[in-house]
Amino acid sequence: MHIPHGVLSPTTAIVTEVLGAAGLGAGLWALRGKERDRTTARMGMTGAFLFAAQMVNFQLYPLPISGHLLGGVLASVILGPWAGSVVIAAVLIVQCLLFGDGGLDALGANFINMGLIGSVVGRAIYAPLRRAIGGRRGVLLASMAAAWVTVILGATAFAIEFAASGHFQEFVPVLGWMLLVHAGIGVGEALITGGIVRFVLLSRPELLDDETTAAEAAQTPVRRHLQAAVAGLAVACAVAIFLAPFASRFDDGLEWVGQKTGLIEEKPSPIRAPIPDYEFPGVPRYATAAAGLVGTLVVFGVGMALARVFARPIEAAVKEGTPSHAT
């Protein structure tokens, strides 16, 4: 889901470009001094890979939706959060300039929705979950959960950016539609990410082990707590988002905020007959909640099934003296 040219209002475009640039700058700052390392070539190759992978369309049976990999969480799992976000930025730039996919004014917003939320927030969800579950099952299940949650958060971020572009009244219906569609896309993202991570774990596990242990060795307890806090917040947001349509005064609340901050200008138009506030059709409230629930269950169920391969034989575990692999 790439926002094209001219959808965001100038203010929103500027704000998101600045935020996106700051996020990208933070990522580049975290990677400084690594230019001559293998990381550079791996990042470029991961970018080219994501690009190629996005050419592959997956049909989401039984829904009439076909999706493709976005790759924020995947890049983050294999390269680390900041390198992952820089890779996504590069993919977005190539798509914008070479393919006309996504607007120049929306690069910042697209990077926030897919790069920062996908890779950085995704990593914050992935890391504590992976530690909690432990082992290769942890890597697989945590990356799937992160993929699912980040797509939902990205869709929400889009709805917010869109609403901030002068469409406050439409926030709830737009959010509803975005969530309904992205529940499907999110399940697809989780399944594709899970499938690829599982394949890597089965054929070259040391690649992921290296990356994750190296990243975690460098982590301070403060950062762990911070990560856990971000993860908790992200999951809470995702839950709240699906339940939000039930809060009946929510839209009025946003409108009130908009008027207070002067973002919505009430221009009474004397010429025309009053037009209803919006005609954009809303989504039945239960539909989004149901989609969220079904999506979560599907991701969880498929994740467990995929992870069965990593259930370690008891003898092997005993031999290593680590009865439970959880760390």
Partner 1 sequence: MRLKLAFSGGGDRDEGPLDRLDERALIAFAFGYVILVLATPIGAWRPLAIEAIALAFVAGFAGVSARSLWDRRSGFIITFAFFSIMAATAHPSRRELGLAAVAASLLAKNTLALSAIVALVEIVPFHAILAALARSHAPKMLLSTLMFMDRYIYVLTDELDRMRKARTARTFRGSGRLDYAILTSLLGVLLLRAWERGDRVHAAMAARGWDGVIRTLDRSGKNL
Partner 2 sequence: MIGDRPADSAALIAERPVEKPPAVLVKDLDFRYPDGRHALRGVDLTIMTGESIALVGPNGAGKSTLLWHLNGLLPEYAGSTAGHHGGGERVRKRSSQAAVWIDGIELNAKNAAEIRRRVGLVFQDPDDQLFSATVLDDVAFGPLNLGKSQPEARRIAIDCLARVGLADAVDRPPRHLSFGERKRVCVAGVLACDPTVLVLDEPTANLDPRARRQFISLIRSLPATKLIATHDLEMVLELCNRAILLDGGEIVANGLTRNVLGDPLLLEAHGLETPLSVKFGRV
Site residues for partner 2 per CB under 8 A: 32-34, 36-39, 206, 214
- Residues comprising the chain, all counted: 327
- Read off the tokens for 81: 């959060």
Contact positions with partner 1 (CB under 8 A) in 258-297: 265, 267, 269, 271-272, 275, 277-280
Is the backbone of residue 166 left (phi > 0), alpha (psi -120 to 50) or beta?
left
Closest distance between partner 1 and the C-beta of residue 166, in Å? 6
Nearer to partner 1, 2 or 224 (CB): 2
Contact positions with partner 1 (CB under 8 A) in 144-203: 162, 165-167, 169-170, 174, 191-192, 194-196, 198-200, 203
- Read off the tokens for 8: 């965001």
Closest distance between partner 1 and the C-beta of residue 316, in Å? 24
Q: Which of partner 1, partner 2, none lies near 206, with the C-beta cut-off 5 to 8 A by kind?
A: partner 2
Helices (H), the chain: 10-30, 38-53, 72-79, 81-99, 107-110, 122-133, 135-164, 171-203, 205-217, 221-243, 250-260, 285-307, 314-319
Nearer to partner 2, 32 or 249 (CB): 32
304 in contact with partner 1 (CB under 8 A): no
Rounded to whole angstroms, how far apart are CA atoms 155 and 153?
5
CB 49 within 8 A of CB 199: no
CB atoms within 10 A of CB 164: 20
Contact flags string 70-99 toward partner 1, x per CB under 8 A: --------x-------xx-xxx-xx-xxxx
Contact flags string 192-211 toward partner 1, x per CB under 8 A: x-xxx-xxx--xx--x----
CB 190 within 8 A of CB 301: no
Nearer to partner 2, 82 or 158 (CB): 82
Q: Of the listed pieces 37-45, 114-122, 124-132, 135-143, which binds partner 1 according to CB under 8 A?
A: 37-45
Closest distance between partner 2 and the C-beta of residue 25, in Å? 17
Nearer to partner 1, 231 or 299 (CB): 299
CB 3 within 8 A of CB 102: yes
